[in-house]
Structure 1
Amino acid sequence: MRSVSGGAATSIEFVNQRSRSVIVYWLDHRGHRRQYAVLPPSASHEQHTSVGHPWVVTDRRGRALVCFEPTRTPARAVVR
């Protein structure tokens, strides 16, 4: 997965419902992870982004837990 240009502006609210911290990364145009937030348990983070810009959430060891694709409508991404 990697970002593509030209998508509409939108936002995602990331919500950590796990018992441990998670890390939120944007996948850039080359598919590389770019760290944007560390969320402790029960925390949330609102991220402005664009359609076509995927996001991945990992545990503290860097293991991917889930990927999110932004939509035109602002969305909520709950990590369980």
Structure 2
Amino acid sequence: MRTTIELSDDLISILRSFAVKKGYRGYSKLIEEAVDFYLKENEKRELNRGNILKMKGSWNKKEAEKTKKRLEEIRRNWKI
């Protein structure tokens, strides 16, 4: 099915470059692969989020505080 999307000139240049490297005639296949990947990854994230929400309340207060402190420590030491 054909559709129209708007992309920046920079993205189109990058897509064309990747398409050539993969031996594709155009970049439609790359767009399809990217959308497919995004949807699958998003679905996994949603499933994981749902599983995490199901566990809400399964930690006692002490475990929750310990985990919260550890996460705060990790975030403070996070290097970009």
Compute the TM-score of the two structures, normalised by the length of structure 2.
0.22
Higher RCO structure (Cα 8 Å, ≥6 apart): 1
Q: Which has the higher strand share?
A: 1
* Larger fraction in helix: 2
TM-score by length of 1: 0.22
Highest Rg: 1 or 2? Answer: 2
